[in-house]
Amino acid sequence: MSKLILKGFILVPESDLDVVKSELVLHKRLTLEEPGCITFSVTENSNNPLRFDVYEEFTDKSAFEYHQKRVRASHWGKVTVNVKRHYEILE
């Protein structure tokens, strides 16, 4: 199996910014604890406070799919429902 990489960015509506930023700490910690997570980074863009740059690496597709399923069922999934995601996935 090969490593899976997701990279890109999210755009957060200004009305959701405070809650997204407050939940991001827990989201990062939970993701890094997942089996198969190699690295996970979500960083506020210095030029646009509504943009967060995202970079993720998982050991394989099944680890990534587990992550996606967990996120959809999590509080993070609920508070980011209005976030626009712009990702590229490399396998």
| Rounded Cα gap, residues 90 and 13, in angstroms | 27
Q: Percent of the chain at pLDDT above 70? A: 99
| pLDDT in the model for residue 70 | 95
| Nearest CA among 81, 90, 86, 89 for reference residue 20 | 81
Structure tokens at 55: 């970079």
Give the tens place of pLDDT for each residue, 15-56: 999 999 999 999 999 999 999 999 999 999 999 999 999 999
Sequence-ordered list of residues with C-beta below 8 angstroms from that of 15, at least 6 positions apart, any chain: none
The H-or-E segment that residue 64 falls in is: helix 61-72
| pLDDT in the model for residue 87 | 97
The H-or-E segment that residue 57 falls in is: strand 51-58
- What one-letter code names the amino acid at 72? R
| pLDDT in the model for residue 1 | 60
- What one-letter code names the amino acid at 28? K
| pLDDT in the model for residue 60 | 96
- Ordered structural domains, the chain, with CATH: 4-90 (3.30.70.100)
Query: Contact, 59 vs 3, CB < 8 A?
Result: yes
* Residue 11: pLDDT over 70: yes
| pLDDT in the model for residue 89 | 96
